[in-house]
Amino acid sequence: MDKYGLIGYPLGHSFSKRFFNDKFATEGIDAQYINFEIPSIEEFPRVIADNPELRGLNVTIPYKQQVMQYLDAISSEAEAIGAINVVKVEHSGDKTTLTGYNSDVIGFVNSLRPLMQPHHKKALILGTGGASKAIHYGLTEKLGLETLFVSRTSRKGVITYGDITAETLKEYEVIVNCTPTGMFPHIDECPPLPYEALTTDNLLYDLVYNPEETLFMKKGMEQGATVKSGLEMLLLQALAAWDFWND
């Protein structure tokens, strides 16, 4: 039986495990999906060595960058992004080849594109962690938007939440939350923005998918903005991962 899995720490409730095992059962695929919760990336080679039936892995925080050192090849897109979330595992005799891809950018772009309007020219990216890398790449390279990062501390190319004014939200009409703020169980939290300055021209996209309607989204809707959660992105990136593994 083929194996697929997820590496990260901590993993908790995994969307991927539930999604793929349901897919295998529904489609009659002789495979199983396993969570590999490893407290250190140094344990990654052991996961590969101890599971010769592995055909593919998803990678989540905090290992989207750390795992790259163990790969034999990385797709040009994943290399440009600087993070991977999919590993294809191929076996030929005694040799095992590991190739890294990024399906996050595919899921994000395909989820956001239908909501884009011609006046959407610039985007704020809330957060500078691993998730923001794929989002930045998708917005700039795939959708042609100009971007600006927002973080709690200011540095070159990054503004703080305190720097955001009504004028900022008018100029940067697309806002993507790449932080975990508002994720269950902290559903009463949201990124500190001047939400009252939002209009119907703004588009708010939240990578958080639990809850499906975050406070960030609710505050956007109250001002007439278009909003979307990360649930569809999650589904689309999972399907893209399956395509990478079985290409």
CB 122 within 8 A of CB 174: yes
CB 198 within 8 A of CB 166: no
Sign of the dihedral defined by the CA atoms of residues 190, 195, 200, 203, in that order? negative
Is 64 a catalytic site residue? yes
Task: Determine which one of 17, 64, 88, 228 is catalytic.
Answer: 64
Of 5, 92, 9, 98, nearest to 45 (Cα)?
98
245, 102, 127, 216: CA torsion to nearest 10 = -50
Joined together, the tokens standing for residue 178 give 């790449």
Active site residues: 64
